[in-house]
Structures are given as structure tokens and as C-alpha cells.
Structure 1
Amino acid sequence: MKNAYIHHLCIQTKSYLETVEFYTEALGFEIVQQTPNFHGRAYNTWLKLGDFYIELQTGKQHEVLKPVYSNSEGIVHFCIWVEDLPFEVERLKKLNVHFKQKDGEIIYEVENGALCKLIAPEGTIIELRNNRGI
């Protein structure tokens, strides 16, 4: 795959308005395109952060979406690198973002840096990381 790169992740949600607000207000994504009534879905929306996109969509009409389970196969989380992790955590606390804690801590040290994990309204786990040396 010469000259290839990851373009987007697709995330489904049953809490569309809350999810759009989370990704735009808390994480800084911008809405690039919002399409109502998209092939049996209430919405299909493209969100962008830098060169990375999320295709956010509601389930198809009369479809029941099951909750995300973090111990399943497939993508477990995605990560956003931030310059000042403590600043971002304090900013997100004011927005009542739900953090996943480890041993009672929001920010914890890992090899080559520190990280925290957020849980989006639809259940996606998002890691914020401040790397050293990677």
C-alpha cells in the first residue's frame, strides 16, 4: 500500500446530538458535512480534526444498536495526541466529560509518556496522550 494513510473511522450512535456536541465542543472536531436521511439513517455526518475524519452515523431506521464492549475484538480505542495533557484534562472536566480512571487516577504514566481515556456518549473510548520520545 504505497502512499496510503488512514482516512477515517466510522462510529454509529443512538445519541446523535449529544455525540456531535462531544466531538465538536470537547474534542475540537469540525463538522465538514451533515447529511440527513442518508440511506435509511437519520444522519450521516463527517467530522474532521487535522487530517483525520470520523464518519458519524445513526443506526438505520428500526435498527437497535448494541453498546460498545471494550473487551471485544476489533478497535478498542483511538488516540489523539495533545501537547498539554493536564490542561486538556482540566478543560474537559469543566465540560463534564466522562473519564475512565485507572487506580483512581485520570492521568497515568505509561511507557514513553502519560495518557488519559475518555468515554464518548456513544461509548467509544478515546485516549489522549502526551508522548515523550515516540
Structure 2
Amino acid sequence: MTKNYVHHLCIQTNTYLESVEFYTKALSFEIVEESPNFHGREFNTWLKLGAFYIELQTGKQDEKLAVANSNSEGLVHFCLWVENLQQEVERLKELKYCFILKNGEVIYRVENGYLCKIKAPEGTIIELRSNKEI
């Protein structure tokens, strides 16, 4: 049997500079490749965290992308495991990023672990979770 794994997610953005800053500074992704003027797009950029990649791209020339909506079909959020959730939340608060609250709480328990959610500039919701297992 062949080995399979998630290679990347592709995220489109109208707020390219803010999104790059968020993924690199807030979530510690590194820029692997940045391609300006990529097939009619202002930018197509590869970001890496461990063995996981995000392909971050702008819309095609003169295209305004529709706003993300968590009540639509398709990807609702993606999740990153963090070693120390409380420490990570404090670091992100210092960077002035805002969290999505649940019952007024930043960190909350869901079944066998704790998590929080943060919204990227382009609208992608990222869950940060304390437990590796489901």
C-alpha cells in the first residue's frame, strides 16, 4: 500500500500582505517560495510548517474574491496541534490577534482536550488544539 498524507491546502486572499504576516508571525509558517505574477495572479506563495504546506494565492487579475462564510459547504476550518495552548494564546494576544470566543472564553474544552480558534485576515478559521488524538 502506498503512503498518503495531507500535502497542502490552497487559500485565496484579497489581503495578501496581511495574510502572509499572519501565517508567518502568528502561526510560524515559513515562506518557501513566493512567485509574483503567477498565471494572472499577483502572488502565489508556498508556506511551510513542518511537513504541511499552504499555497496562498491572490485572485486572478481584477478579480475580487468573495468573503469566506463558515455556513457554507466545504472547508470550515483547519487545525494545528500546539504543545502549550495557553502559552500560544498569550503569545498571539501579545501580537494583537483576536480569537473567536465560545461562551465568552478563548480556550474551551471539547470532549478530550482544549482548543481555541483564530481567524486569519482572509477569513480562514484556524483551530489550535492541545491534544493530538481525536
TM surpasses 0.5? yes
Whether the aligned pair in 1 keeps the contact of 2:108 and 2:116 (CA below 8 Å) is yes
Whether the aligned pair in 1 keeps the contact of 2:81 and 2:132 (CA below 8 Å) is no
Percent identical residues: 69
Normalised by the size of structure 1, how large is the TM-score?
Answer: 0.97
> Given residue 128 of structure 2, which amino acid in structure 1 is its aligned partner?
L
Q: Give the secondary-structure state (helix, strand or coil) at the position aligned to 2:130.
A: strand
Q: State the alpha-carbon separation in 2 of the partners of residues 102 and 60 from structure 1.
A: 36
CA RMSD of aligned residues (A): 1.2
Structure 1 unaligned regions, length at least 5: none
Q: State the alpha-carbon separation in 2 of the partners of residues 21 and 133 from structure 1.
A: 29
> Given residue 114 of structure 1, which amino acid in structure 2 is its aligned partner?
Y
Q: Which residue of 2 aligns with 1:24?
A: 24
> Given residue 47 of structure 2, which amino acid in structure 1 is its aligned partner?
L
How many residues matched?
Answer: 134
Runs of 4+ in 1 over 2 A off after TM superposition: none
Structure 2 unaligned regions, length at least 5: none
Q: Which residue of 2 aligns with 1:114?
A: 114
Whether the aligned pair in 2 keeps the contact of 1:98 and 1:120 (CA below 8 Å) is no
Q: Which residue of 1 aligns with 2:39?
A: 39
Q: State the alpha-carbon separation in 1 of the partners of residues 61 and 132 from structure 2.
A: 45
- Shift in Å, 1:2: 2.8
- Shift in Å, 1:132: 6.8
Normalised by the size of structure 2, how large is the TM-score?
Answer: 0.97
Q: State the alpha-carbon separation in 1 of the partners of residues 85 and 57 from structure 2.
A: 29
